[in-house]
Structure 1
Amino acid sequence: YEENMVIEFDKMKKLCWETIEQLDHRNLNDLFDFPTSENITEWIFENLKDKIPLHSVKFFEGTNKYCEITSD
């Protein structure tokens, strides 16, 4: 991707779902030593950062509970 370019929403959605599908219906204890919201959020961020321009990833665990990872 080029810096400061807007990405097509459909492409972004596809890449996000491909990442999330790796976790869906899986035992997270088999994927992470400690499957905390923070570790899952960081994993999602790391898996997407080279595919789409990211500023942050926010992982919700309920209505008002979430973890957010931002780029440097």
Structure 2
Amino acid sequence: MSRKYTAVLTRDGKWFVAHCVELGVVSQGKTIESARANLKEAVELYIESFGEDDLPDSSAEVILCPLEVAVGA
């Protein structure tokens, strides 16, 4: 059985940071491909460690949008 989750990748200096939105799992890599592969491994380990019973619904719609916040006084 497999599940699909959402991966958001951002660049942080020389690294790419990969975040699984639904599970809150984060990993990184020096390339997009390695960050994605590392995140996949991290998600698999997360599921293996915590079990499948309480996983969030992977078919839930994820909406990404910009968010502007006030900074400073």
Instruction: Report the TM-score, using the length of structure 2 for normalisation.
Output: 0.31
Instruction: Report the TM-score, using the length of structure 1 for normalisation.
Output: 0.31
Q: Which has the higher contact order (CA 8 A, sep 6+)?
A: 1
